[in-house]
Chain A
Amino acid sequence: MSTIFGIPTPALYGQILIGLINGSFYAMLSLGLAVIFGLLRVINFAHGAQYMLGAFAAYLLLNWLGINYWLALVLAPLVVGVIAVVIERTMLSRLYGIDPLYGLLLTFGLALILEGAFRYWFGAAGQPYAAPSQLSGGVNLGFMYLPIYRGWVVIASLVICIGTWLLIEKTRLGAYLRAATENATLVQAFGVNVPLLLTLTYGLGAALAALAGVLAAPIYQVSPLMGSNLIIIVFAVVVVGGMGSILGAIVTGYVLGVLEGLTKVFYPEASSIVIFVVMAIVLLVRPAGLFGREE
């Protein structure tokens, strides 16, 4: 059997794949967090709960209404996006312009309520959600065995991240968003309905989290706490990438996912903390993050 640094190559490739999968979720979630933070200056602690809601929406759509995975990919983000819009209009928008701590506390409270409610209804244990038949099974790549659903998740997340990046960098809506991130008052003085832009951004950010949740449902189990386990790592990713940096969030998400996977191979004891070690080093050396603008 071939080895690299004494590690059997199938194990190495396997961990890199797991790292890529985890990195896909880090990237999709930190992307939404970065967009929301950039424009609204809200640290959206409900992001993990919105991810969980997406997974549960897919699960409930299937089990209650018989609606399949492909439709859930569209419907779950829509439902969670609408819920987020209501939250922004009725609660979050009242906290703009005051200490960002209030937005953090509100969204943290919402996350606790949502997770508590789902734990009460469905219990803490995970519910299985089967991958759609079109994506079940796997292929032998020669050097490793690739479950098709996992390959699909990596590709789908890349498409989602690049699509979101293009939306922000290349479209008129994206130009409003970038400009309002710099100076919202001036953009509004130019006639852009900035309050609406904020609402849409929060809704889109949450919908993105829900979409990640649907993608995650067949891989991790659908459970009330699936988001809170992930969100702490995702915050670390955002900090490493640079708060508010879109590209930084995406690239850092994948890189740290793979780094975590590699650590599992070479020094398993450190695999659960390696991302936080990187975060600490980055904060010491480059507080604005790898891709952040120094102010």
Chain B
Amino acid sequence: MSSAPLLEVRGLNAWYGESHVLHGVDLDIREGETVTLLGRNGAGKTTTLRAIMGILRRREGVIRLRGKNLLSLPLHKVAQAGLGYVPEERGIFASLNVSENLTLPPTVSDSGMSVEEIYTLFPNLYERRSSQGTKLSGGEQQMLAIARVLRTGAKVILLDEPTEGLAPVIVQRIGDVLVELKKRGMTILLVEQNFRFAKKVADRFYLMEDGRMVNSFPGHELDARMDELHEVLGV
């Protein structure tokens, strides 16, 4: 059963000003899949997500969601087309409280979770719903950043290093959440340096180096490829 990919990226090039950062990136995600992008610092993982979202405007190539070309859309139309973004820096707003942060992104389809469901999944966000967004701990802010896109009914979620700098128990908790989302059939593009974490959820891996995709393999091959990965990732 090789259905057409939900999100399809072909020959993506992207630039920060004059500096050419992505060189012909190809990427496919099928519906319900969790795909993890690996690569060492500066490989271009965040840039790939930003280029797909359209936050980075200088880009060429093909980005299609359910066959619909995203490249020509203005930035706000990309979310409306069904992409949800959880940025590396989390992007929690200081001038909004937790509940305002949660409900900020407009819903794009009716398949999203209700606020009640989200608060059941993240009880600590419910307890702190009236606190200023940036008063939360790093882990809570990460949960909030994830929760925020679950409400919108986005078809594909782009998740940039959700475990970065967090304590092991929080990483564990975020892992549980991702497993839960997977069960619900969510499609996820995950950027992660911690591949022991990614192993729990990833159906497939892409390996990135210097702005190029250098390899791609199914999740169960991760253990067999450890040596190779350690070399490329330098960890």
Contact = CB atoms under 8 A, between A and B. Distances in A.
A179 interface: yes
Contacts of B85: 189-190
Interface stretch (B88-96, B205-213, B221-229): B88-96
Most chain-B CB neighbours within 10 Å: which of A185, A191, A192?
A191
Contacts of A136: none
B193 interface: no
B75 A188 contact: yes
A194 interface: yes
A175 B53 contact: no
A94 to B, nearest CB: 16
Contacts of B93: 178-179, 182-183
Contacts of A193: 76
Interface in B76-135: 76-80, 85, 87, 91, 93-96, 100, 103-106, 108
Given A175-B96, A175-B104, A179-B104, A191 B152 contact: yes
A108 interface: no
B22 to A, nearest CB: 18
A189 B104 contact: no
B96 A186 contact: no
A93 to B, nearest CB: 13
Nearest to B97: A175
B55 A185 contact: yes
Nearest to B56: A185
Contacts, number: 60
Contact of A188 (B76, B100, B152): B76
B105 A190 contact: yes
B54 interface: yes
Interface string B30-47: 000000000000000000
A111 B208 CA distance: 54
Contacts of B152: 190-191
A186 B100 contact: no
Contacts of B104: 175-176, 179, 187, 190, 192
A186 B79 CA distance: 11
Nearest to B99: A175
Given A175-B96, A175-B103, A186-B87, 10 more contacts: A172-B103, A175-B100, A178-B93, A188-B76, A189-B53, A190-B85, A190-B104, A190-B105, A191-B152, A193-B76
Interface of A: 172, 175-176, 178-179, 181-183, 185-195
23 contacts: A175-B100, A175-B103, A175-B104, A178-B93, A178-B96, A179-B93, A179-B104, A182-B93, A182-B94, A185-B55, A186-B91, A189-B53, A189-B55, A189-B76, A190-B79, A190-B148, A191-B77, A191-B106, A191-B152, A192-B76, A192-B104, A192-B106, A195-B74
